[in-house]
Structure 1
Amino acid sequence: MTLLKELPSLLKKSIADETVEEIRSLDLKEFAIAMGDEIRRVGKWYMTYRNGGERTPSVGINPSERIWMDFTRQGIGGKDVLSYYAYRMYDDISLKNRERFVESCVQICNIAGIPLKFKDGTSFEPDGERRVSHAPIVHRDEHEDAKGYDAWLDFYYRQMLELLNLGDKHREHLLQERGFTPKEIQIRGYRSVTDNYRSRYMLTKELINSLKEDPVGVPGFALMEKDRLRYWTLVARNGFLIPFRNLLNQICGFQLRVDDPRIIRLPKGYTANLNNGEVDIIDKQSEAVVWKGKRDNFPVTLERGTATLEPGAKYVWLSTSRDVERGVAQGARIGHPTPAPYHVAVPSAVLEKWEAGDLISNVFDVTEVWWGEGPLKGDIAADLTDKIHIQAAGVKNYRQLFEPTLQLNPKRIVIAFDSDAQEKVDDVGKTVLQCIEEAKKLFLPKGIELYFAAWHPVQKNGLCKGIDDLLRLQLRPHMHALGGEQYPYEYPYHEKNR
């Protein structure tokens, strides 16, 4: 656009409402690509790299929901290209400054290849073809992909655990690398799952026959429609499941620790199926399998580009959503309509006797509640401290810890998030500080003491990212009082009888 040369003289003008509406209707994914962002699909999200760069993409764009977010920073996200452009250019999501707003609109129109109009009648036409289309209008049923209530999930998930086993590889990991005892592993209900298509289908079929109920609303299960067939199946990859339990010991969800977290990235026009360690790459148009092999054979050269493997998340939710393109006619999302679950970790000896449906405060001392991130870390720490640990899936989900803690009304709270907050000051560190400030406002007026557990991530005996690492080395965190009555802190670590 020649208007970029005239930009300084245009900053005092006002953008026409129709141009602003046109900008707000642009497709987020196409706009990000037009800006030069590298995009790869992960489920319904299209992932790209956050500002400043990183090894694993953590900025997600969901075109069907018309939203984007930076998963590493609380509250950073938006619903249109204006907020996305502001994030990319100014590391902010607002354009409150008038001149910045006008300049951003001019630049967005230039990138998208759309006309620009001002309220005084001045207008500019794009130099070339339009590069970003309108976002599709998606009429969603509010009940689509909705998960069921907690008691229903617990009912289905417990029966699923009865039909699954823990593989030797995963058992060895829990014993040797995590320090669990065989009994603790058995009590906590970790189970292996596979990408073997037939195995997952047969498991689901047995569940339905046993419970006389389809897994409607159960995250992880999907109603498939393929080749005129319609059937339910579990959707999973090779790895082991970690249960998330609420205050009533109801299993409300699972995280899957993936054996191989690498993600397959395909050129446009292809899709992939995983089954029993094999990868089938399929041409969407002809529906023919154009390549078959294992992950170790990547990268793979195809007619329309190269298929590659890229780093992915080690821990993922067991969750499904409707995806017609992949044959998923019905699913259930772990975070819809209520947020993804928190996890209540208690000592294994307590868990063994804790009946589902019984409030934890009826069977265990909840005077002191610890906060952390990651269910597996919480399970380990609970056995090493003899305390209740309420865990968020990640530190950015810290607000999920507030409500269950208020229900328990403890005397004190110990905040023990991972030590990487000290290294990642600009993202994780800010989130932890934000959590502390909100917790002080909410809990101190109620007479609840707040402590922050801190430790150096590098110890002479090894690395200590999580509180579980520190406790396993028989080391203690530094306790910093954040408010409330200060008291001599009696450290709860105890030696396990092995």
Structure 2
Amino acid sequence: MRDFSDSRLSILNVAIKCGIEILKRAGMDEYMARCPFCGDTDNPRYGHLMLNIAKDAYHCVRCGEKGFAIGLYARLHGIDNKQAYRELMEMDDESPKVEIKRVPQNPVASLETRDRVYRAFLSRLKLSKEHLKNLIQRGLSWEVIAYNLYRSAPVYKKERREICRTLVNDGYDLKGVPGFYKDSSGNWTFSGYSGFFIPVRDVQGRIQGLQVRLDNNDEEKKYCWFSSEGKPEGTPAHAWIGVSGGPAKTVLVTEGPLKADVAHYLSRYTFIAVPGVNSIRGIEQVLKELYAERVYIAFDTDKATNVYVKKAEDTLKSLLEKNGFDVRIKDWDRRYKGVDDYLLALKKEKVKKVV
């Protein structure tokens, strides 16, 4: 009988046996590594292959390749899983000894609770001049910026604790709301970031979760989810699909909630924001709830040179067509990477013509 709990079959050991470069621990149960399938990015310090030590699984968020430890070894060595198992069991375990810390986590609260808490939370925050300038430069108006509740993340721990204290005193239950957790003193606080919050809404306009636009200049990681995974009484964020706009027969799909917000404002079309080009689970249901009939896929123009974005586009197109949607591919001038950039350029050109 096979023992799949043997450390020689762990995802870290298998990755090492496959010559995969493991970069760093990226979460309670995950390590970041360089993907052997897509070759990853030019930045050697960053990787898209996530190795889950709790599930002994892998998933590249760039090219979409995923599976389990034995299958990873089999694929990279051109053999079947039975042969991979035999070869791995004949080798020594070279994986680092890592402790899987089981910090008690709260399940995600209901959407109604999250929406209520996030709105109260954001109402207690301000938007810095730098972040306001960033949003205006993207083409958003002051009114839309205020309405969409973009807010700067507080920097100081004391301020974060005080905000949570007022929320609790006002009757808000922070348990199960991603981003919030209890500190060593047993008081509620929330994860700290340098950046601004972007609400991610559902079809009815309820806030499902928050993304953070980070202040760093790292092109590989400009956004992250507001999450408290791995922290006492914390809750991990999900990769929620966002909606910018209301029910419509024609809907466009792009990557990222801020891009969708900007594109919706500049075009008045309804946009769906997938958190990543390969993160499309449940998108057909969202489109049905919007009463969409025709769907335009508006991924960035780097799909012309990035085969993995093009592959993701083809996968999404096939999925939506199988669900009865009339699917089109939206293309534009390649001088502009994103659909938001393109729409902003059109707006500026229109203003020039009027003047």
Q: Same fold (TM over 0.5)?
A: yes
Which of the residues 34, 55, 78 maps onto 1:49? 34
- How is 1:81-480 mapped onto 2 (pairs within 5 angstroms)? 81-90=69-78, 95-96=79-80, 101-102=82-83, 104-109=84-89, 112-113=91-92, 130-132=93-95, 144-176=105-137, 178-210=138-170, 212-224=171-183, 226=184, 229-260=185-216, 313-321=221-229, 323=230, 328-335=231-238, 340-346=239-245, 360-361=246-247, 366-425=248-307, 427-443=308-324, 448-458=325-335, 464-474=336-346
Q: Gapped runs of 5+ residues in structure 2? A: none
CA separation of 1:134 and 1:241: change in aligned 2, threshold 3 A? closer
Normalising by structure 2, we get a TM-score of: 0.87
CA separation of 1:25 and 1:495: change in aligned 2, threshold 3 A? farther
Paired with 2:17 and 2:110, the residues of 1 have a C-alpha distance of 42
Alpha-carbon shift at residue 165 of structure 1 (Å) = 0.5
Paired with 2:123 and 2:329, the residues of 1 have a C-alpha distance of 39
Aligned to 1:72: 62
Residue 53 of structure 2 aligns to which amino acid in structure 1? Answer: P
Kept in 1: contact 2:190–2:228 (CA 8 A): no
More strand by share: 1
Paired with 1:313 and 1:87, the residues of 2 have a C-alpha distance of 28
Paired with 1:38 and 1:256, the residues of 2 have a C-alpha distance of 26
Residue 276 of structure 2 aligns to which amino acid in structure 1? Answer: G
SS of residue paired to 1:389: strand
CA separation of 1:65 and 1:213: change in aligned 2, threshold 3 A? farther
Alpha-carbon shift at residue 234 of structure 1 (Å) = 0.9
Alpha-carbon shift at residue 133 of structure 1 (Å) = 8.0
Kept in 2: contact 1:221–1:233 (CA 8 A): yes
Paired with 2:270 and 2:57, the residues of 1 have a C-alpha distance of 36
Paired with 1:251 and 1:409, the residues of 2 have a C-alpha distance of 20
Residue 108 of structure 1 aligns to which amino acid in structure 2? Answer: L
CA separation of 1:140 and 1:171: change in aligned 2, threshold 3 A? closer
Residue 67 of structure 2 aligns to which amino acid in structure 1? Answer: G
Alpha-carbon shift at residue 341 of structure 1 (Å) = 1.6
Q: Which has the larger radius of gyration?
A: 1
CA separation of 1:49 and 1:137: change in aligned 2, threshold 3 A? closer
Residue 344 of structure 2 aligns to which amino acid in structure 1? Answer: R
Residue 388 of structure 1 aligns to which amino acid in structure 2? Answer: T
Q: Gapped runs of 5+ residues in structure 1? A: 1-16, 114-129, 263-310, 347-359, 459-463, 476-492
Residue 329 of structure 2 aligns to which amino acid in structure 1? Answer: F
Normalising by structure 1, we get a TM-score of: 0.63
Alpha-carbon shift at residue 108 of structure 1 (Å) = 2.4
Paired with 1:495 and 1:413, the residues of 2 have a C-alpha distance of 29
Aligned to 2:53: 63
Alpha-carbon shift at residue 404 of structure 1 (Å) = 1.1
Kept in 2: contact 1:28–1:135 (CA 8 A): no
Kept in 1: contact 2:34–2:49 (CA 8 A): yes
Alpha-carbon shift at residue 400 of structure 1 (Å) = 3.3
Aligned to 1:356: none
Aligned to 1:121: none
Residue 469 of structure 1 aligns to which amino acid in structure 2? Answer: D
CA separation of 1:316 and 1:133: change in aligned 2, threshold 3 A? closer
Give the percent of matched residue pairs that are identical in Structure 1 and Structure 2. Answer: 25
Alpha-carbon shift at residue 139 of structure 1 (Å) = 8.4
CA separation of 1:214 and 1:87: change in aligned 2, threshold 3 A? farther
Which of the residues 15, 27, 41 maps onto 1:32? 15
Kept in 1: contact 2:106–2:175 (CA 8 A): no
SS of residue paired to 2:279: helix
Paired with 2:96 and 2:9, the residues of 1 have a C-alpha distance of 6
CA separation of 1:312 and 1:230: change in aligned 2, threshold 3 A? farther
Aligned to 1:118: none
Paired with 1:403 and 1:393, the residues of 2 have a C-alpha distance of 16
Alignment RMSD (CA, Å): 3.0
Kept in 2: contact 1:319–1:334 (CA 8 A): yes
